[in-house]
Amino acid sequence: MDRIGLMEMTPETLEDSSGEAHALLESAKAKLGFVPNMYGYMAKLPPVLANYMSSYDAFRTQAGFTPAEQETVFLTISRVNGCTYCTAAHSMIADKKSGVPASSLAALRAGAELPDGKLQAVAAFTEVMVLSRGNPGRAAVDAFLAAGYTDQHVLGIVLAIACKTFSNYVNHLAGTPVDNVFAAYKID
């Protein structure tokens, strides 16, 4: 189910955009093979899309998480924030590209305990970081570090939250329709 937008927005497109918005959308198409619906809305203010793309890439390449852990982080943030668009998109990536086991993906989407202890530690810490607005308490930090993660990983979750704040919030405002490529992973 697509979310109902909180405001009337017309997304930028490759055909009607110019300047920085057009360059960013062109870059997305070259990298992904298509322009995700979300990007058109973000391109209404190009720094939103630019910072989203930059933080997304930095999280993927520098935070130190495996692909399955990355999707665990992104899916947890998106579920907690109620972003149906990002939950669908990251569910597809988790299933088709990042090697998240089906049982863990189902648990992530439901907000249930994950069968994999390492992924559960990532999901639990990410959730408490979002819910506490970055003030999870010492016990939560210590438990995450005791699960084998590092200071870099803690800061990586901060980076992912910043990234998903761009996308989740824009999707709430715009009511971004889920792209066909993610449609099989829509949530109600």
Q: Enumerate domains of the chain plus CATH numbers.
A: 65-185 (1.20.1290.10)
C-alpha distances out from residue 33 to 12, 28, 181, Å? 17, 8, 11
Buried b (16+ CB within 10 A) or exposed e, 141-153: bebbeeeebeeeb
Residue pair 108/79 in contact (Cβ under 8 Å)? The answer is: yes
pTM of the model: 0.94
Residue-wise pLDDT for 53-99, tens only, equals 999 999 999 999 999 999 999 999 999 999 999 999 999 999 999 99
Phi, psi at 82, each rounded to 5°: 70, 30
Residue 5 has what pLDDT?
66
Q: What is the dihedral of CA 123, 126, 131, 134, to 10 degrees?
A: 160
